[in-house]
Amino acid sequence: MPATIVLKNGKDHSLRRRHPWVFSGAIARVQDEPTEGEAVRVETQAGELLGVGHYSSGGSIAVRMLDFGSAAELPTPDFWVKKLANAYALRQRLALTGTADTNVFRLVHAEGDGLPGLIIDVYGDVAVVQAHSVGMYRARPEIASALQVVFGDKLRSIYDKSSETVPGNAVGDAKNGYLFGESTGAEHIVSENGHQFAVDWETGQKTGFFIDQRDNRALLARYSPGRRVLNTFCYTGGFSVYALEAGAELVHSVDSSKKAIALTERNAELSSHAERHAAYPEDVLTFLKNHSAEYDLLVLDPPAFAKHMGARHAALMGYKRLNASGIAHLAPGGLLFTFSCSQVVSPELFEGAVLAAAIEAGRPARILHRLTQPADHPVSLFHPEGAYLKGLVLAVE
């Protein structure tokens, strides 16, 4: 028999609304001593089955739900196939598969696809798996097998990149590596909206590429012709390539990582417009302080400033300082693309920080667009916390 989590009276409401998290404070007792990451039953005091999920004894989230209701069953090989096939079918309906223009997309977006703690990104014929929970980490063999069933011969290899995301105290010395297939050793080029990018999932950040900015990069391209563009926190230069291809007069890319700058320069070469591009391996705030040039379009896309509520106030101050510095480098009538991927910072709080920056800079500004993540990063209606990416496009006088 599987272990059982019994909830306190009155703590079942969120599960009945299909919210996928059970917090430790909602638990009355834990029966049969489940191991870390084990699939468990979740019941009421009266013995009613509310669903099943992965158990965790560390942190505030004690169970991440995989299925709901009295008919819920522990995951089997068929469970994983059905879940991944459902996620793949959605991406097919979104026209993100089987096209020559785009062969990079997110297949599984954790709670948004009913698989809390799991991220899977697809780069052509390679799937990159990233587990953010012990349960998903221990299910990697089943997940890899299910991927092969769903994709068949369209998949050359599956790479696990969970060592930086899975709670280390529960799994020991997690190492990245191939779950299926192997590395070819060759440069891997993917296509996004017809633009070519070199992707390094083995040593790059996240799974190798920031797929979540695809639609926002396309919007930036509409405004780039003839403009002088500064792309900060550029990573692999996604916004830079779109601007170059769209006919920007010049594009400058800034990132503190020399490796990121090298990838940006390689991607600028793939665009065939490298002569209009320059890259700077510098801290962004230092660059903005030491360079007096004005730009017609500026991108501020920093990493998450806050990963928990305790860091939120400092993050808001950081966004204010960064945006004030960025606005100061915009020519009159310039456009600012500014983003936050801090989940604990709401769109309203982020907009308030940008407002404070504009006031400090003494520049009138109008909001042209409010931006978010693309459709292959879906947000469950029952889990609004999954909406992490927020952005604004401002016209600054």
Residues forming beta bridges with residue 130, ordered by sequence position:
119
How far apart CA 52 and CA 69 sit, in angstroms, is: 8
Sequential DSSP letters for 113-152: GT-TTEEEEEETTEEEEEESSHHHHHTHHHHHHHHHHHHG
How far apart CA 268 and CA 71 sit, in angstroms, is: 53
State which amino acid sits at residue 161.
Answer: K
How far apart CA 334 and CA 329 sit, in angstroms, is: 9
What is the dihedral angle through the alpha carbons of 89, 38, 57, 40, rounded to the nearest 10 degrees? 80
- Is position 234 annotated as part of the catalytic site? no
Q: For the CA atoms of the chain, what is the radius of gyration?
A: 22
Contact 297, 243 (CB under 8 A): yes
Q: Which of 341, 345, 365, 392 is catalytic?
A: 341
Contact 284, 303 (CB under 8 A): no
Q: Which positions are catalytic?
A: 341
